[in-house]
Structure 1
Amino acid sequence: MTKQLQKQHQTVRDVELSYSIQGSGSPVLLIHGWPQTQDEWRHVVPLLTNDHTVITVSLPGIDGSGPSKEGYSKKELARYIHDLLVKLGHNKITVVGHDIGGQVAYAYSKQFPEEVEAVVIIDVPIPGLPGWEHERGKWPRWHFAFHQQKDLPEILVRNNVADYLNYFFKGLSYNKQAMNDAEVQPFIEAYSNETTLVAGFELYRAFDQDAEDNKNILPKLKMPVLAIAGEHSRMKGPVYGQLKEAAEQLIGAIAPNCSHYIPEENPEWLAKRIIKFIADKE
């Protein structure tokens, strides 16, 4: 893997969170998805730091961050991250989330709308928004239901972490070299830890609570929202279609030459698009 991010730690409500911060300028928060860690942003961060202060964080329970004491609803995870940002002295930010991190970014923006200047949601459906029930059960998202089962995913996966995660890394990528064995090995090592493995599945077990939390789409998000999907991703339509019901200022974009893992498959395009999006709204 390309050089990983330099991590620091802060304790938030008795939970130690692993994060990185670098660069200067208006702050941008990057939130990772499953089955990854904050290091999924390793290629994007250096491309943003000339323009922005860039903050990444591993979600509670994941790779260096302690387990959540409040459950794994995206609303609660957003609160942990918000409290971290307050400790770091940032209260006006752009929030960027990929995969389940996009669900956290949405929850963050709904809870703290006065503090979020813009939000970017990348290649993920949002629980509770129109179309969620259709998308959650649509092939190939069989794993949504599997990961929600109590204990069973851990039993079947803990001794086969590499094979299981590679099913997703290889199957949901277009630029296969970006997700080669060396690049994904740190994620496999992270999820080979039982705490991280369990926390990862808890992200899915919270979907019903997330849907309940998100069912009231009013008031709509008032800040600019950028919905991104990969050119070869099955989320190309749904990511924009869902958010158009929930955001007043929505822009859609398609990341070329990639599928789901946009931060790694095409980091140059993504960084430029984020910088332009922030500059345009200013």
Structure 2
Amino acid sequence: MAVKISDHSGHEVEHGRRRLSTGVRLHYYTAGSGPALLLQHGIPKTSYYWRKVVPRLTKDFTVVVPDMRGIGDSTHPDSGYDMPTVADDIAELMKQLGHEKFHIIGEDWGAAAAYQVAVRHSTRVLSLVFQEMLLPGLGLEEWATFDSSRPETHLWHVAFYHVRDVPELLITGREREYFTWFIKNEAHDPTSIDDDAIEEYVRSASQPGGVRSICAIYRATERNVQANKDSARSKLQLPVLAIGSKDFIGQEVEKQMMNVASNVQYQELKYGHQLAEECPDKLSDIYLDFLKSL
């Protein structure tokens, strides 16, 4: 990682890797004390995405921040990029680390994974924060289709990454140019994404199998559609905080969560999609207010 990540006391977080029963090795870092809280990043970001939020949380929570399979410093398996499998990765990692019960916060594809953790491991998950994501089968596809009423938030890349081999052909060797533009383009203020963050996300994507793994997450959409439709038949009963960004997905996040959960609160921020990069202090306050109210 480009820069050291610290807890609330200024001590560097503890990094580790755990081999799961599937053979996948997940990289993670952890710090703090108190109830367990897992933070799951989206794509094409890594666990580094949470570096500005972590120091605000570690005084009250034992924070665990993994790299999703195929991303960052976790291994790049050939398969298993559907969200139920990713969710089982998360649940097994937490059990290996001694956290039987935990809160979970996910953003972007990390939110899609966090939802499946809450569904598949409902007795272990204490609460869910679902941030800036639309679930496959429950809204993502509509936003992947061009709509002239919201051209700024057309999720064109959902279909692009799904095309076999072509994204790898076009992006490989140009990871810096492509992902710099992609990540900054989704921010309300592109200058809020610092050079160290771009360096880390480009490093992750430039590894052998990096672009392939990113695409594999999107190529698992059909499996995710069926899983989410099946899961939505029974609403989650745990406390859910939905967070949307006015300049990106916004209130659609709330509408979606109301369809899959019974106990939903909503917060909206006037920023872009990269909230932990753009407004980490405001975001951390929202997390803490929610978690401490439970």
**Coarse TM-score class (shorter-chain normalised):** over 0.9
Give the Cα–Cα distance (whole angstroms) in 2 for the partners of residues 180 and 76 of structure 1. 32
Q: Residue 133 of structure 1 corresponds to which residue in structure 2?
A: 141
Q: Residue 288 of structure 2 corresponds to which residue in structure 1?
A: 275
Q: Contact 1:70–1:76 at 8 Å: present in 2 too? A: no
Give the Cα–Cα distance (whole angstroms) in 1 for the partners of residues 243 and 89 of structure 2. 25
Q: Contact 2:49–2:197 at 8 Å: present in 1 too? A: no
Give the Cα–Cα distance (whole angstroms) in 1 for the partners of residues 290 and 244 of structure 2. 15
Within the candidate set 237, 240, 260, 1:225 is matched to 240
Q: Residue 173 of structure 1 corresponds to which residue in structure 2?
A: 187
Q: Contact 1:15–1:69 at 8 Å: present in 2 too? A: no
* TM-score, normalised with respect to structure 1: 0.94
* TM-score, normalised with respect to structure 2: 0.90
Distance 1:101 1:276, change over 3 A: same
Q: Say yes or no: does 1:265 pair with 2:278.
A: yes
What amino acid sits opposite 1:280 in the alignment? S
Q: Contact 1:21–1:56 at 8 Å: present in 2 too? A: yes
Q: Deviations over 1:119-166 (max 9, x none)?
A: 00111111122x343223245211100001111111110011111112
Q: Residue 153 of structure 1 corresponds to which residue in structure 2?
A: 167
Q: Contact 2:144–2:157 at 8 Å: present in 1 too? A: no
Alignment of 1:63-74 (within 5 A): 63-68=72-77, 70-74=79-83
Give the drift of 1:69: 5.8
Give the drift of 1:222: 0.4
Give the drift of 1:180: 3.3
Give the Cα–Cα distance (whole angstroms) in 2 for the partners of residues 199 and 272 of structure 1. 33
Give the Cα–Cα distance (whole angstroms) in 2 for the partners of residues 157 and 242 of structure 1. 32
Give the Cα–Cα distance (whole angstroms) in 2 for the partners of residues 70 and 114 of structure 1. 27
What amino acid sits opposite 2:61 in the alignment? H
What amino acid sits opposite 1:151 in the alignment? D
RMSD of equivalent CA atoms: 1.5
SS in 1 for 2:105: strand
Q: Say yes or no: does 1:3 pair with 2:11.
A: no
Q: Contact 1:128–1:210 at 8 Å: present in 2 too? A: yes
What amino acid sits opposite 2:52 in the alignment? H
Instruction: Give the fraction of aligned pairs with identical amino acids, expressed as a percent.
Output: 29
Alignment of 1:27-106 (within 5 A): 27-68=36-77, 70-106=79-115
Q: Deviations over 1:103-131 (max 9, x none)?
A: 000111110111111000111111122x3
Give the Cα–Cα distance (whole angstroms) in 2 for the partners of residues 69 and 83 of structure 1. 19
Give the drift of 1:70: 4.8
SS in 1 for 2:224: helix
SS in 2 for 1:186: helix
Q: Deviations over 1:14-67 (max 9, x none)?
A: 111100111001111000111110010000111100010000000111121112
SS in 2 for 1:56: strand
